Amino acid sequence: MTPEQLAELVDRYASALVLYARQWCACPEDVVQAAFLKLVRQRTPPTNLLPWLYRVVRHAAIDASRAARRRTRYEIAAAESAPQRFMPSYDPTGLDAQAAAAAIAELPAETREIIVAHIWGGLTFEQIAEAVGSSAATCYRRYAAGLDVLRQKLGVDRTAHQP
């Protein structure tokens, strides 16, 4: 198959295949791309090309959906067995997890990345600096500034949590 033939097939059928795959999975574009790659790897093109493409897309979309469900189940199980980082919201002295998550989501992406990597990932500031391409001092400053913003948004008294 020539690149021109492949381009023509993609132009003609990709949109419909994406729509078809969307019935089963949340990543239909990836599934369609994989189907076209599989087509390119065929030594001889399928006899009935269009039904072959739809079958490959259907099977890949169903597989992707199953993988997403497995991943979700695994993530839920991991989250349930992980140590609790927030007090349940019914505890009047603890943090409201939903409010904290919303406040974290409002932080600048760089600050949020550093806070998540340090608190939930357990990374040191040196490790974070290496991952984000910055210095450990800059990462610490962003971390401290981000925590101050979170304290303000959540109404937490800074002195109440210091030893």
Which has more confidence, 124 or 94?
124
Domain 97-161 maps to which CATH number in 1.10.10.10, 3.40.50.1370, 1.10.150.20, 2.60.120.340? 1.10.10.10
pLDDT digits (tens, 9 = 90+) for 49-81: 989 999 999 999 999 999 999 998 988 888 788
State residue 163's pLDDT score: 44
Give the ranges where the chain is alpha helix by DSSP (H). Answer: 3-21, 28-41, 49-81, 97-105, 109-119, 125-132, 136-154
Reported confidence tier of residue 116, pLDDT bands at 50, 70, 90: confident
pTM of the model: 0.51
Domain 3-81 maps to which CATH number in 1.10.10, 2.30.30, 1.10.1740, 3.30.70? 1.10.1740
Whole-number Cα distances in Å, 9 to 17, 22, 68, 155 = 11, 19, 28, 57
pLDDT digits (tens, 9 = 90+) for 118-160: 887 788 899 989 888 889 999 999 999 999 998 888 887 665 5
